[in-house]
Structure formats: C-alpha cells, structure tokens
Structure 1
Amino acid sequence: MDSFTATAGRMPRLRARIAQHPERFRVLTGERPTGRLHLGHYFGTIRERVRLQTAGVDTFVILADYQVITDRDTAGDVRENVYSAVIDYLAAGLDPQVTTIFAHSAVPALNQLLLPFLSLVSEAELHRNPTVKAELRASGRALSGLLLTYPVHQAADILFCKGNLVPVGKDNLPHVEMTRTIARRFNERYGDVFPEPEALVTDAPELPGLDGRKMSKSYGNAIELGMTADETAAAIRRARTDADRAITYDPGRRPGVAGLLATAAVVLSRTPDEIADEIGTAGAGALKTFTIEAVNEFLREHRARRAALTPDDAAAVLRRGNERADAIATDTLTDVRSAMGMTY
C-alpha cells in the first residue's frame, strides 16, 4: 500500500475527530501568489478552508510571497497578486476575525526557523522531494538553494504556529511527510516542542483548464475569480474545440471539449457525461454558451462581494493577520531557542 492510499484510508476517522473536536486542530494552508486565483483554486482549496473555518478549526492562510522566487527570476506583480488573493478569500467567505491571513515575508520569526530545521535534513532528502524535481524540470534553470530548500520552508510555514492539520492533494503529501520528519527529529534532539501534523486529504476535483490541461495560471487556460462576466465569456469562447457536433466527454481524444464539460459540471454539481448528453449534437457553440451561463451564474454572488472590496480592505486584513502570525511565530521561536539552549 502506497503512502497516499494509506493516508486516504485514515480520512474518515480524521474527519470524524475534526467534527467532534474542531478546537483541537490548527490548520495551515495557502499558496504562492504567482498570479490571480481561479476556479481551480476555489474548488481545490478555498472552499475547504471556508468549511474548516465554519467548523471551528483555527485556520491560518499564508500567502507565501518569498516562495514566488523559488523558480523564477523576479517576484513580478506579487503585491497586486497578494491583495487580489485576499479579496477573493473574503468574497469566498473567509472571515479575517477568525481566520489568520498573512504574508510570508512579514513574519521574520517564521523564517528564522529555517536555520535549525535545515540542520535536521540531508541534502539527499531534499533532492528526492518530488515537488523540487518537478519545479526544477519546469523552470529549465539551474537548481537554486531556495528551490532545494523549498520543503523546509514549507515545514517552517506549518510548524511556526504549531499547526497539526494540513489540507493537501496527492502531489503535496511529501511536504507533510517532510514536516512530520522535521518535527519528530527536532523533538527527539531537543525535547518536545512541535506536533507532528496530519495530512487532511481533500476530495476536491482537479479542475481542468479550458484546453483540457490542468487549470493553471502559467498555461493561460484559467477562469480567474476576478474576471468580469464578459471576460469570462470571451475566455470560454476562445477555447479550442473540434468540428464534431456530437458532444462527448473524452478527455484523451477531445481535451478542449472535455475541459468545457468539466468546468460546467463542477459549478453545477453535475457530471460531464450528463451535460454532454443534454447538449447532444448541438455542437461546440452550444457547449460554450452553456458553460458561459453556468460559470457566470456560479460566480455572480462572488463577483458582487468582490466588487465591494478594495486593496485598502486587503491591506487592513493583512496587517491584522501579519500581527497575529508574528506574535505566534515569536513565541514559537522563543520555545525553539529555549529548547536548543540559545537564550541569552
């Protein structure tokens, strides 16, 4: 049995524990603000964060701005991306009064944890991390020290607040395993300071983009949460399909058609095959019209809430979140220095 299968098998019991005692859990989740958030983010992560918040779990959401430069030369429009992400979080239902939303670079004590954590892992372990290998291949650049130590940065992100729950998909499970290893080795060497966090495997669908590939900012195939209705319609109309008027769900042979069907299906809580049967032989034009209407209706309330928010609102949320995160990180760093005998 592989690690993912074993972890997934534990999910019913873990979810039952969360439902029974949400106050015992602290979750850390977030993303690199490399671009605007899209439907894939909403169904992949944001919706789960709102659910955990509503359940009473102490939730931390990190915008890992330092990590934007792990595989690129510059940070780009990172400030605008951060503010846009916060606005989407608020529009989606995250409440900054109970959920801590903060920026990675604004919490110095968090980043100081990197040094002792690096002493607990080997270079070989870092090289084996699948995300490091995948990002290196995608970048086409030499391996930087920042990218190599990316898994340890993520461990610091999780452990600075002594998080014990991390929502992940299959691809990110190795990062939780690395974090557990670092927490365990620190505790064995210096005394109990950190919990060993548990992975909460989400059952969110992986939403394909408009070209059938994974929805991604880098592919330019995403429906951004901040798009207007007209911009969404234009993006969907540009999607490449084919000349076969009979609409079928066949991701391998008809990726563009499949991407549209999957997008409509996820916002309508239906299956792609059901929608394909409904459209029948009306052709790709009818499919695009159907998808436009479904997506725009789904995003209508989100857009209304988003339109009422400003970058100043996002900045205020971040100031509050940064302050709380920094206070917690400082306390954790004090615990670490005390355990290591480095208080003066």
Structure 2
Amino acid sequence: MSELLHLDLLKKGRVLLAFSGGVDSSALFHLLLKNNIQFDIAHVNYHTRPSSDEEEQSAIALAHQHNLQCHTHSCRLGGANFEHRAREERYRFFGYLMKKHHYTYLLTAHQLNDRLEWLMMQMCRGSGLPEILGIRSHDTREGIEILRPLLEWDRDSIETYLDEHKIPHHIDESNADERYTRNAFRHRYSAPMMREYRDAIRRSFRYLEEDNSSLIEPMNFIEVDSFAYAHNPPNIRSLVVGIDTFFKQYQGYLLSQHDKEALKRGGEHIIGRHTVVSIEGKYTFIAPYEPNVVMDKGFREECRKLKVGVKLRGYLYGTPEAMSIIRLLKGGLELPRFD
C-alpha cells in the first residue's frame, strides 16, 4: 500500500503530526512529504528510557532538515497507570498547540495492527460495537479533529516501506515488554492473525464502520457555557454512546461500565462526582453538579411544573440563560438545531 486515508482533507488544512520517531510516525512523516502535505510535528519526551533525549533531538533535527516546526514537551510521570496518564498528558499538549497555532487536524500514526489490538482488548472487557471501533480514521477528542491516515496499513507493510526507502527510525524497546496489556495482545494474538488474514481484517473493519454508522444515531449537543443539551435519539444504545462521546470529546472523561448501565435507566445521574446528566423525555441535559443551593419557593415550584430534574436545579438557579433554554424546551418550543 502507498495511499493515505483522507488525503483530500490533508491538502486543505494546517496539519500537526504527533511524532515519536518510531516505526509508524516515521513512515507517516515521509509519506506526508511524498504527498506534498504542509505539516509540523509535536514530540513528547517522557524520559522513561536512556534513548528518550536522543529521540527528542532526532525529531528536532529532522524537522529542521525539512524546514518544519518541531514542538517539544518534556515531562516525568511517576506512579501507576502510566499509559493512561501519558495519553492524557500528550493530548493536553496537542490541544494547546492546536489552539495556539490554529492547526486544522491532528495526525496520529495508528495503523491496522493497533486497531485489531484495541478490538481484542475491548471484546475482553465486554464492549459493544462503538467501543471496539474506538480507533477511527476521522475522529474528535475534546474539540480536536484527529485524522489517522495509516489506519489501513499493517505493521509489516510499514516496516517494508521504511526498509525499501532506507528511512531511519527508533525502536522503542518497551514494545517488547508484555507487562503492558497492549504488548501482550500484540505478540500473542494480533500479530500472528494480521500476517495470516490481513486483507480480510481490513475489509471487516470497513464493514464494521458502515454497520456502526447505520445502527448508532449521533447526538448533537449544543453548548451554552457549561450547560449542554441534545435531542434524544430513538434508541437507548445511541443515547448511551452519544453521552459517552460527549464526555470523551469535551471533558476528557471516560464513562465507567457502571455509568453506562445506569444511563440506560434514564433519569438523573452524577458522573465523576462533578457533572449531572439528566435524561428527561425528549432531551438530555448536562451541567455542573451544584448541590446544597438554596432556591426560592417560586423557582422550585416552576421546576416541579416543568419536571426539571432535582439534581439539575442547583446549576439552573444560578444560570438564567440555561434556565431560559429549559423553559423553551419544556414548554414545547423548539430551539434551532445545528446538525
């Protein structure tokens, strides 16, 4: 393979490549050059290995060689659950760069093997179709548009491309450490399957994406400051996926399985001790959770008549604009939709 996904989008916007200097991002770097895409790179140094500083300097030198900007970030993350905290740290950095320099798209070098590993791990956690397709070629996270142009390339094809074009790259020795769950899945299961069934696996992911698009109706949340609302979709599965997506994209928060099961019952729920989700009739409302607010009798009575959730009322009492939206929606007047 030699083509990149979403090449038309890549040629229209300003692009930032998340660059580690490893196999996948090095291949994507040179494929972007080959296709005359204008881009810069961002590199995060976690200082976890003796070669970390060398890799950072290599990224800077490579960018300079091709007259590109190299944004770097240095951090040391102690404690447990390193993979999760490292992901959160780098996406904070990427988000800062996207806003400051007005990049249109963030590119990551996820490829087909990554996608299969994710699917396997999610299946072992009892996840559904939208979750096992968590790595998509065009996605959004906390307001950042993400493209994954290599998502139909498999690891062997990428390594062959690097060898044929004599492209230097770093090898992350931690990829061999099976104490990391993803590495265990990679070496024991996904790599052998990919070598045997690569083309069929690629086709299956295309079909799964098509099926997911037809089964899951998106929720289009409208935000007013810290308040958000959306029309409820026709089925519970779409509702839970829509709320889960909102929290991932705009709050960087992953709903637990307990949260998802609770949402299926409708009504009000406190997520992460700080946010209330109120599923009421035609609409879902999301707002900061503000307990122990003293409200006047008239306001409480109005909320009762409008059937506004009890946990939502504290925020609404101090936010007239959000309360005016509730009045319109609950009174049967439709606000304009932007979907």
Kindly indicate which of the two structures has a greater share of residues assigned to strand.
2
Q: TM-score, normalised by structure 2?
A: 0.26
Higher relative helix content? 1
Higher CA-based Rg: 2
Query: With structure 1 as the length reference, what TM-score do the two structures score?
Result: 0.26
